[in-house]
Amino acid sequence: MLAVVKEREGPGFAIKDIPTPEVREDDVLIRVKSVGICGSDIPILAGTRVIPWPMTPGHEFAGDIVKVGAKVKSFGFDLKEGDRVTSCLVIGCGNCYYCVEGKESLCDNLVETGIHVDGAFAEYVRVPAKTVLKMKDGTNYDDGASIDPVASAYRTVKACRVTTKDVVVVFGPGPIGLYAVQLMKLRGAKCVVNVGMTEDMERLKIARELGADYIINSSTENVAERVAEITGGKMADFVQDCTGAPPLADMATTILRKGGTFAITGLFHRPAEMNLGKVVRSELKVFGTICYNRNEFEECLDLVEAGRVKTDPLITHHFALKDMNAAWEVIQARKAIKIMMHP
């Protein structure tokens, strides 16, 4: 089968024929129809994030089941050949302290499809049946391949427990940020503000279309002043970071009201400086969430299938999998929001 393979350390990837995976008794084999390129795939493909290689990345996908492992039926999963499905990337061991607590994204033995084991930048992907969810007949594969980033934003949003009087500032108009904007509105926030930079203007426009009440260009505007203006001086109840950009951590402390919450979805690869004196004096709360659990993934599939969270405006490019090099050029030029590959 055709696959995009990270063969060695350093930059670059191969587009080549590799053997189709064997199906083990707990697994299903999926013919991949759509697979999104995630922000976290970029450092993997660029070679700045080390993964066990050779490996096929790709974890945001949907497709059709073509083979079901011998034991799958005995687990009670109603999965059969021909089913249209999507899958969580999180594969919990099921036995550690965190899995038993129902927090599988914190699993001590966590395995992630497309990050630790072969993923979906390929014609076929093998995944454990327990990570697979059936899609409704009318759900398209691009929607199915979008549930992973929706769910990553959702775990943070859900944990915020916003109320109808809350003002939320979302940092970053990338896919996760644009889903966070929609989800915060859906969960009842009174006002959602999306912050980006000059190069994000197209994305910020989409944020407005998707329900953001205000957008702020942090390259040209003073974010704290704008938030003060929007909130009548009260400042924000919540800030959700969807960037992982270190300078924004301290900005959060300057735009939150006393007792406000800084909720972090963005993956910080470097330590950030933050005024902890402000955290103490203003009794700010700070927390992060990582990935999602199966139940959150299921809730997000439902939200997308019901049309309550829109994926379409985010999908800016489509390529055949064999044209990964062309997709890579679009990424380098920062022209895309979400690219869908079709093996």
Residue whose CB is less far from Zn ion, 250 or 268: 268
Q: Which of 4, 29, 107, 212 binds Zn ion (CB under 5 A)?
A: 107
The verdict on 249 binding Zn ion (CB under 5 A) reads no
The verdict on 38 binding Zn ion (CB under 5 A) reads yes
Rounded to the nearest whole angstrom, what is the least distance from the CB of residue 185 to Zn ion in the complex?
A: 22
The verdict on 99 binding Zn ion (CB under 5 A) reads yes
Q: What's the distance, Cα to Cα, between the start and end of the chain in Å? A: 10
Q: Looking only at residues 119 through 178 of this chain, which bind Zn ion when binding is defined by CB under 5 A?
A: 148
The verdict on 44 binding Zn ion (CB under 5 A) reads no
Pairing of strands 27-36, 124-128: antiparallel
Rounded to the nearest whole angstrom, what is the least distance from the CB of residue 259 to Zn ion in the complex?
A: 32
Angle, helices 294-305/147-160, rounded to nearest 10 degrees: 110
Q: Which of 18, 96, 330, 336 binds Zn ion (CB under 5 A)?
A: 96
Residue whose CB is less far from Zn ion, 274 or 327: 327
Count residues binding Zn ion (CB under 5 A). 8
Q: Cα separation of 331 and 334, whole Å? A: 5
Q: Do 107 and 99 meet the contact criterion of CB atoms below 8 Å apart? A: yes
Q: Do 231 and 203 meet the contact criterion of CB atoms below 8 Å apart? A: no
Q: Cα separation of 99 and 304, whole Å? A: 26
Rounded to the nearest whole angstrom, what is the least distance from the CB of residue 94 to Zn ion in the complex?
A: 6
Which of the ranges 57-65, 111-119, 139-147, 218-226 carries the binding residues for Zn ion, by CB under 5 A? 57-65
Q: Which of 93, 245, 286, 330 binds Zn ion (CB under 5 A)?
A: 93
The verdict on 57 binding Zn ion (CB under 5 A) reads no
Residue whose CB is less far from Zn ion, 92 or 196: 92
Q: Do 288 and 261 meet the contact criterion of CB atoms below 8 Å apart? A: no
Q: Cα separation of 253 and 114, whole Å? A: 35
Q: How far is CA 83 from CA 105, 120, 223, in A?
A: 26, 17, 47
Q: Which of 20, 230, 244 is nearest to 124 (CA)?
A: 20
The verdict on 331 binding Zn ion (CB under 5 A) reads no
Binding site for Zn ion (CB under 5 A): 38, 60, 92-93, 96, 99, 107, 148
